[in-house]
Structure 1
Amino acid sequence: DHLPVAANSAAYIDTIGRARTFHPDFGAGEWPPGSGSPIGIPYITVPGNQQKVAVSFDYADESDAGPYPVPTNAPIEGGVNGNGDRHVLMVDTDNCVLYELYAAYPQQDGTWQAGSGAIFDLTSHALRPDTWTSADAAGLPILPGLLRYDEVINGEIRHAIRFTAPQTQRAYVWPARHYASSLTGSEYPPMGQRFRLRADFDMSGYSPEIQVILVAMQRYGIILADNGSAWYLSGAPDDRWDNEQLRELKQLTGNDFEAVEVSSLLLDPDSGQVKQSTSVPLNERVFLPVVVR
């Protein structure tokens, strides 16, 4: 089924930037070169018996207390000396649990300090408590929205793709749970707003790997999850990425997209489960892998 175009689609795209080009905020190597900072948001898998450590939070009232299974070699977004969002993502593959931290700093005593943190049971459709943040501004999990090399090389991406915008509304739409803005104008997109690549977009000139990403943008869309640069797509760093090939995504502009209305798919406002049936791996369900084409 075709989801309807959102009433404010044109305004949202104009606000983010109709002529602005997309940017793959992930890739191979480090940036700046030699900085130890991988390009993208890294994650690590841990076993169920990984030792857990205490984490103290700046926003403890909206964070899951933990403890968190942070290994000593846990990669930090931006590198150990980075001053950006410093996300730390861990997946307990034995118990299907995702742990995510924002603004995470290791302490000398082995504990961690973070801005916020969230724990997601990947066998559940449950969303965060309403109005709660996560390690992301929209209150959503980060990992399920990242573009990952293995998905592309296997020929199919089965989830929405996380992206950022510089100005967002003081509002959020399902499945998001939180906003991070003082702007109330209806021209600004709310957190959780989903956009899709237009059906008439000609992807024939793109490489096969990039076409896999473009098909996902048509089928599942991209979802607004944080404040940041316009049309920046999130992915996990991987030295197998071809950075030159990823630059093909910079040919996309806001004009190639439209915002969609997903409320017709809602079963329960506190759940990411949708009305249409879909056979999607449990580790992707929480990110609402809805077919939007």
Structure 2
Amino acid sequence: MVRPSARRATAVAALLALCAAGCSEPATALPAGPTPTGGVGATAAPPAGPSPVPAARAGLGGRPSPSARPCTVFPADNVWHADVSRLPVHPRSAAMIGAIGGGTVHADFGSGRWEGAPIGIPVTVVPAGQRRVPVTFGYAGESDPGPYPVPPDAAVEGGPDGTGDRHVIVWDRAACRAYELFDAHRSGAGWRAGSGAVFDLRSNRLRRAGWTSADAAGLSILAGLVRYDEVAAGRIDHAIRVTVPRTRTGWTWPATHSASSATDPALPQLGQRLRLKRSVDLSRLPRQARIVAEAMQRYGLVVADHGSAWFLSGAPDPRWDNDALHALDGLRGTDFEVVDAAGLMVSAGSGATG
């Protein structure tokens, strides 16, 4: 079965794990039957900074009141925020980078529109007390049950008529929770989706081993998106979501889900942490591209789904300079390495780092 994300990845390219961190052998096999996965990285979400701006519905929900406790995207000690710049290189790094391919990096987000929709994975920020509506799931056994606070006009990846992964990301900053849907469609008074997950953004708790989310790896999509406000502030403080063409069965912490039955040890697993090599000179990159590249050197990339190689996920925003972001195309797969992040793990069920 060809998944929607795989079909979309092919079209885009034509136009232009239970395994511990760093696990080296296949772990949990793919569950029987088709597996829901997240997207190719073709539409994106807003910031985990102190004063993010909604990417998809500007002005919705406003800013939190000065007395409200800030809602960051996961605690400071979460693995998404871990500095991996000095972690050891994984012993099979060269093989895994070779399996991903030596193509160029692509910022799969920006300003303007692509095929009639904003470029990136949009995030809908909702106010406190947003009405909750029923959501039905194709993969209910691995989805967090509704109702979810998804408004009827929530932004959908690819637009209302999009045929790709159709992610819907809702950020309730008052409750500090993210509600994330894969293959989301309006249905009566509510929504239907392939799968869905709710993330408490003040907690390090991971999803149950073997469970997907709205993303193939079982991780939060919001956590790995490049967001304009953090680039405008001069610093991204988290790893970035990236897609690769193929992975092997099992998963690498902090992922919780596999989307492959392949056993080739040269393939990376979902959850694998990659890093832009320190030797790569970033000084000539324009500011927006340089800040993204600096994050890839310090915090790295997290393999989150299947799709086009080296596609970085981010949130659409009219303030992106697409020409500047295209400068990232000068970076190649060979400029990256796989790191061994096993030493960061405190517990297999937690995203906290030691």
| TM-score, scaled to structure 1 | 0.91
Matched, 1:27 2:106: no
CA distance in 1, matches of 2:324, 2:279: 22
Which residue of 1 is the match for residue 92 of structure 2?
Answer: 8
Q: Name the SS of the counterpart of 2:181 in structure 1.
A: strand
Amino acid of the structure 2 residue aligned with 1:3:
L
State the shift of 1:72 in Å. Answer: 1.8
Matches within 5 A, 1:1-293: 2-18=86-102, 20-32=103-115, 35=116, 37-107=117-187, 109-275=188-354
CA distance in 2, matches of 1:153, 1:111: 35
Deviations, residues 214-266 of structure 1 (Å, cap 9, x unaligned): 11101100110000000000000001101111100111101100000001011
Amino acid of the structure 2 residue aligned with 1:208:
R
| TM-score, scaled to structure 2 | 0.75
State the shift of 1:208 in Å. Answer: 2.1
Q: Name the SS of the counterpart of 1:94 in structure 2.
A: coil
Which residue of 1 is the match for residue 45 of structure 2?
Answer: none
Amino acid of the structure 1 residue aligned with 2:89:
V
Which residue of 2 is the match for residue 282 of structure 1?
Answer: none
CA distance in 1, matches of 2:225, 2:319: 15
Deviations, residues 171-190 of structure 1 (Å, cap 9, x unaligned): 21000000101211101100
How many residues end up aligned between the 2 structures? Answer: 270
User: CA RMSD, aligned part only?
Assistant: 0.8
Q: Which runs of 4+ in 1 moved over 3 A?
A: none
CA distance in 2, matches of 1:182, 1:269: 22
Q: Is the 8 A contact 2:133 2:189 kept in 1?
A: yes
Q: Is the 8 A contact 2:152 2:190 kept in 1?
A: no
In structure 2, stretches of 5+ residues that fail to align are 1-84
Q: Name the SS of the counterpart of 1:14 in structure 2.
A: helix
Amino acid of the structure 1 residue aligned with 2:312:
L
CA distance in 2, matches of 1:212, 1:81: 33
CA distance in 1, matches of 2:208, 2:350: 10
CA distance in 1, matches of 2:315, 2:227: 6
CA distance in 1, matches of 2:280, 2:214: 33
The sequence identity of aligned pairs, in percent, is 53
CA distance in 1, matches of 2:269, 2:326: 28
CA distance in 1, matches of 2:163, 2:318: 23
Q: Is the 8 A contact 2:128 2:172 kept in 1?
A: yes
CA distance in 2, matches of 1:167, 1:121: 30
CA distance in 2, matches of 1:41, 1:59: 22
In structure 1, stretches of 5+ residues that fail to align are 276-293
